[in-house]
Structure 1
Amino acid sequence: MQTPLAAPAGPADSTAALARAGRPGAAEPRSIVVLGSTGSVGTQALEVIERDPASFRVVGLVAGGGQVDLLAQQVRRFRPEVVAVADERAVPALREAIGPVPVVAGAEGVAQVAAWPCDIVLNGITGAVGLTSTLAALSAGRVLALANKESLIIGGPLVKRLAGPGSILPVDSEHSALAQCLWAAGPSGHDPAQVRRLVITASGGPFRGRARAELTGVTPEQALKHPTWDMGTMITLNSATLVNKGLEVIEANLLFDIPFDRITVVVHPQSVVHSMVEFVDGSTIAQASPPDMRLPISLTLGWPSRVPGAAGAVDWTKAHTWTFEPLDDEAFPSVALARHVGTQGGTAPAVYNAANEECAEAFLARRLPFLGIVDTVAAVVGEHSVTPAGSVEEVLDADAWARARARELVAAQEG
């Protein structure tokens, strides 16, 4: 796969159409479908869109269905062509609240809207459930703004098979930063042989600096107090365990075709430098901005243009101190485990992700200790027999097995 934010190469490049849509002087604003519209990424994406109605318009909204009132507000405000909810039970209340706007439901309805005619599909769904939407959008030839890293991680070969040059634009701040650094480097940034390493930064989460022994007894309330980012529950917890950073290492490998031994994680508590690229001549390019997801979101919506005023900038009139620290793999073994499953490939990443989702839910329900999350994920990964992940069915079977096995191990620990 080519660098996602590579400049448009010609008519075969998915971004070529974007260069003609929603730009200054364009006849029509760029059309956007937002998947996961009531979540953290989705609501921030809608903020970006609402600020610039001349450049963007919403044609489709998709949500799980657990926040019908919020979804109804979004429908009334943005007037999409179609709405989908994953939970069919939410349909009657939603239809009553929004009137004649078409509503579809269930997995088929979500996939239908993911493939809806538009310029960009932003996949902000959380978790493995986002895979079918990612595949539907790419199969329909849409440009995909990808916040749902799990779909790429668990369905790597399937997603890469469908993704052409420029068809995936990463929303994660780290991967957006890496792509911007590679783009800024010019021709050398598009040649993996010129890249010595990708350096992914991590805030360290709420437990940065703690030894493993100091993480016993951690409560859900403590784990969900992220020091710099305002994110959804699952992503925030994954940041506390650094599973999120492990997932990002796998995502970087898949997006940029850089081997795992050339992807480094460093702890940067200030969360201003979002990632860096070190080149073979010793030069390093970094992308810096205050921690605000609206910036990487806006970059994918406006690509290849930047959206003016999307987020605040670093105030260079004030003194700043930025620090970088090595990752403590003993206290936070999730990143090393992710490298292992990423190197294995096939269904291994799907098992890692699925087991973590189950263990995270068990921790939030106070059925599993904090350290038990990654320990149990490692146990499930260790039992798994890796297969090639050549079909959606193989990926989903591995996902289901990992969830079931994780639940068994959690239950055994409770007993």
Structure 2
Amino acid sequence: MRRTVFGELHDAFRAKVRDFIRNEVVPAYPEWEVRGRPDRRFWQRAGEIGILGIGVPETYGGLPGSSFTHSVVVTEEIQREFLAVGGLRVQTDICMPYFLEYATVEQKRRWLPRLTGGSAVAALGLSEPGAGSDLKAMSTRAVREGDHYVVNGAKTFISNGAAANLIVLAVKTDPAAGRNGISLLVVDGDSDGFHRGRSLDKLGLKAQDLAELSFTDLRVPVDNLLGEENHGFEYLTSNLAQERLSIAANSQAAAVAALEHTTALLRGRRPGQHAKFELAACAAEVHAGQALVDRALLELEAGELSPVDAAMAKLYCTELQGRVVDRCLQLLGPSAYTRQCRLGRAYLDGRVSRIYGGSSEIMKVIVGHGLGL
């Protein structure tokens, strides 16, 4: 089906991104899987191409005329090669909106050129060892002492945690107020009192940085407060629609890649009727998912995407990814059940999409509320 969300500028950008991924990312990717994260050259080159400046004003090194639709282009091209570079989306789709929306002019001048140029990597410090993403149960504490906050606590499952130079850290500044006592601080990765723990050994996403962080009497300047004190909860929830659509778009692109890859392989093998039926069913679901993602994308661009519709897109597309990749792997047989096979890697890389950014069960709760249940 013809897609209408992209124009000529997107097509030109897509060609540039595709060349970058094929010529520079694909050859380096095996080494990243061993190291557990992309090298610094990747971030610098992504900045030069404009990927890190998507949606950012040109004043701060942004990509002219760009929006979240350009990020979807990047996501689709990465998935076309069966790669897992989710840390890139963490920076552009999840962290960057906080800087753009809540940073002062002085803060933007200080941080945005580093982020768009690739000299700084961003992370969001939210999940905790004893609380997961439950903001009310968060225990990382920030106490105001003069012109600094003193931070103590720990975070876990932090994407880009091992490489991050700027961490948007959620802290409790008023514990008695529950979720209404949360603030966002920007922590410099070189600060005394900031410690990086182990990088987590995951089932998949081997090239994606996921780490534990801890803070012991970490002193953060009050000038590093994002927005207003104790307004962090509303800030965090305001970006959930884009965050969940980002995950949905990634899962949808992964399903498209799996279907196209499997169809191309089986075309020369004279597949039986069962294989044809399975691929036909996958194709119908993939087209339905694409329509859902594209519609949600248009609504996001218009400022109209609701939390319920974003949750529905994430729920459908992440579950779709699991079904399609599983069916395709089944059709290709034992040869696909290895990390050396694209489908085998996609099977392991995709499983977590139904957990992070809000699990499928949480998405169902949100959609259920939207139904008045």
TM-score by length of 2: 0.28
Higher helix share: 2
